[in-house]
Structure 1
Amino acid sequence: MTDQPPRPKRSSVFIDAAMDSQQQSASMQTVRIRNLSEGGAKIEGKAPPVGTAILLSRGDLEIAARVAWVSDRYFGVAFDEPVAVEQLMRAAAKPGAPDRPVYAAALTEGVGRVQPEPPRRRTTPLDRATFGLRVAPRS
């Protein structure tokens, strides 16, 4: 068994960011960061080729990285320098947003649970005279 340094703690998140793949043919695109650590991230979006230098931006924060792996709709990036995870999650937060990060588990809380049915309103026959309707006699 080889001695490898422990893998940095990863947080499952749901964060939109802008990505510039720094290629002439590619333009800036919006991607979704799905998990994050101080050394890299798993991103959902159109992936550039492995080894491509990218720049992720969120608010005033910009992070230089390289594409490390690519699969169907996800790809992984390795950051050029370690990133403060909390700082990235707070970047460009809307005024009044919680100062703690929103993790994916919080977004899916309650999903799949059976919700109780709302109480049904009791319907009563309409009093047609109230609405000025005249009921024609049956012939």
Structure 2
Amino acid sequence: MTGLETRSVSRDSLFLLANVRVEQETEQHRVRVRNLSDGGMMGEGTMRVKRGNRVEVELRNIGKIDGSVAWVQDQRFGIAFDEEVDSQRARAPQAEVNTAAIVNSGPSYAHRAPPQPDASSLRKV
């Protein structure tokens, strides 16, 4: 890896816990949030997710956010939020945060995971 940062969106390294629920499942999973930006997060945990899974994430001081799994590697995974949030709110102690709703600037299509490829169009090797 080089020292050059190629991301177009800044992110914060931090250690938080979040609840993640995969769409159409009732069970919530507790995961570690390793990186958080306004458009998504990197989580770590033993839950099984696949790229493209729709998820609901519950973050401290922010609430519930819908998104999709953008990538998976071992026990780490990236989630692209459907709408941008104020990621700095998650860092603040709960007593300092007022009860305002999530700050949305509209859908964030720049962070959305691409759709799964059509299996019939894939070449077998």
TM-score bin, normalised by smaller chain: 0.5 to 0.7
TM-score normalised by L of structure 1 = 0.57
- Which residue of structure 2 lines up, in the alignment, with residue 68 of structure 1? 70
Aligned-partner Cα distance in 1 for 2:90–2:94:
13
Aligned-partner Cα distance in 2 for 1:68–1:39:
12
Structure number having the greater strand percentage = 2
- Which residue of structure 2 lines up, in the alignment, with residue 57 of structure 1? 58
In the alignment, residue 31 of structure 1 is paired with which amino acid? V
Say which one has the larger Rg.
Answer: 1
Unpaired stretches in structure 1, ≥5 consecutive residues? 1-5, 97-139
**Percent identity between the two aligned chains:** 33
Aligned-partner Cα distance in 2 for 1:47–1:39:
22
Q: Do 1:47 and 1:70's aligned partners in 2 also have CA atoms closer than 8 Å?
A: no
TM-score normalised by L of structure 2 = 0.63
- Which residue of structure 2 lines up, in the alignment, with residue 7 of structure 1? 8
Alignment size in residue pairs: 89
Deviation at 1:23, TM superposition (A): 2.9
Aligned-partner Cα distance in 2 for 1:47–1:79:
18
After TM superposition, the runs of 4+ consecutive aligned structure 1 residues lying more than 2 A away are: 93-96
Unpaired stretches in structure 2, ≥5 consecutive residues? 1-6, 97-125
Q: Do 1:18 and 1:29's aligned partners in 2 also have CA atoms closer than 8 Å?
A: yes
* RMSD over aligned Cα atoms: 2.2
